[in-house]
Amino acid sequence: MQRKPIIAPSILAADFSKLGTEVEAVSNADWIHVDIMDGHFVPNLSFGPDVTKAVHKSTSLPLDVHLMIEAPEKWVQHYIDAGAHCVIFHVEATDDPVALARTLRSAGVRAGFSVKPGTPIEPYLDMLEEFDEVLVMSVEPGFGGQSFMPDQLAKVRTLRTAIDERGLDVIIEIDGGISADTIAQAAEAGCDAFVAGSAVYGKPSPAQAVDELRKLASR
């Protein structure tokens, strides 16, 4: 399914002291990506449901909430209540991803799963029908500003083939090292949505950076 590129700035790279203003600065984006880290599943700590709720109040854009946390099934309701449009959890962090996806969908929220760079995608292809989104990590999760891992695009191509052959409406998203130098190759591999942190918030005009990334992905 051919889509317009979805650009999702990550507020992990924003200035937390003026988060409302930073979110408003990318009002031309498609989604806002919210990275949740617990200091256990990944070796870093970010923020939780209260900040997510505050972001939801400050924008009309859909919140793409990425849970890099242990036992996500214990926490998803907090993020549903905080206004998440899609909740993405890691398959490495839960024993029953399909059950969790059904919980999310039954609550009226889109369900997504993510895989770390070292996790193969093939074991999860059979459950694609249960999901709305798959997030391929092209860096090790937990820290912003890492270098893009082009070998992860093999997973994207595998997903693209499986989704297209089965006629599924599942978005392929990529997160990690996405910039003006890497977004075109991710798009060519079959990505629909692109998370960008420093490539947006590290520029003088975040809105202009969003537009430029969208143009590069469209090519």
The CATH number given to whatever domain includes residue 46 is 3.20.20.70
Catalytically annotated residues: 35, 175
Average pLDDT, the chain: 96
d(CA 115, CA 136): 6
* pLDDT average, residue stretch 14-39: 96
CA distance 66 to 108: 17
Look at residue 4 and tell me whether its pLDDT is greater than 90.
Answer: yes
Band the pLDDT of 95: cuts 50, 70, 90: very high
Q: Which of 40-44, 66-70, 72-76, 183-187 has the lowest mean pLDDT?
A: 40-44
Name 91's Cβ contacts closer than 8 Å, sequence gap at least 6: 97, 113, 114, 115, 119, 124
The answer to the question of residue 1 being in a domain is no
pLDDT of residue 63: 98
Is the per-residue pLDDT at 108 higher than 90?
yes
**Residue 143: pLDDT above 90?**
no
pLDDT attached to residue 124 = 98
Domain span including residue 189: 6-218
* 8 Å CB contact between 36 and 52: yes
Number of domains in the chain: 1
What's the confidence (pLDDT) of residue 91?
98
